[in-house]
């Protein structure tokens, strides 16, 4: 994992440098970009009594100041250009349990593990960009 202050986002590749965002032939791109709310990660950490950095979750983007919609099809605008559509919940895997006992269960309620999305409009995302739910 690598933390960066900006990244290019494309329709067919997701976040530049993240192979998981590339849409495979016949694929739907439902997991091009994963988002995690800072408050949800901190709540899960408090629940299990740990203070691991957010990137251990292996999400692409850490967001704050917005309650991520828990409805597939909802659109998010990040910065001036990038538009994502929520596709599904990001299910916590066994790796979370290996990081901290109880973490997988702590990430299950209310989409605490984050949201998966597909890129509708590409562009550049920068740390500090606004995130808005689109009508």
Tell me the per-residue pLDDT of 94-109, one tens digit each, with 9 for 90 and over.
899 999 999 999 999 9
Q: Looking at residue 95, what DSSP letter applies?
A: H
The model's pTM:
0.91
Tell me the per-residue pLDDT of 107-131, one tens digit each, with 9 for 90 and over.
999 999 999 999 999 999 999 999 9
Residue 73: name the closest of 64, 65, 83, 81 by CA.
83
CATH number of 6-134: 2.40.33.20, 3.40.50.300, 1.10.150.110, 3.90.550.10?
Answer: 2.40.33.20
SS3 of 103, please? helix
Give me the residue spans of the domains in the chain.
6-134
């Amino acid at each position: 994992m690598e933390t960066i202050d900006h990244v290019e986002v494309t329709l067919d590749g997701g976040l530049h440098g993240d192979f998981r965002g590339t849409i495979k032939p016949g694929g739907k791109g439902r997991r091009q970009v994963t988002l995690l709310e800072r408050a949800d990660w901190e709540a899960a950490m408090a629940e299990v009594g740990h203070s691991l950095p957010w990137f251990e979750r292996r999400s692409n983007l850490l967001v704050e100041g917005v309650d991520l919609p828990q409805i597939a099809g909802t659109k998010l605008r990040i910065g001036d250009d990038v538009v994502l559509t929520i596709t599904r919940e990001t299910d916590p895997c066994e790796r979370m349990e290996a990081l901290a006992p109880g973490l997988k269960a702590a990430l299950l309620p209310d989409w605490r593990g984050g949201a998966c999305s597909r890129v509708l409009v590409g562009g550049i995302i920068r740390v500090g960009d606004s995130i808005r739910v689109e009508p």
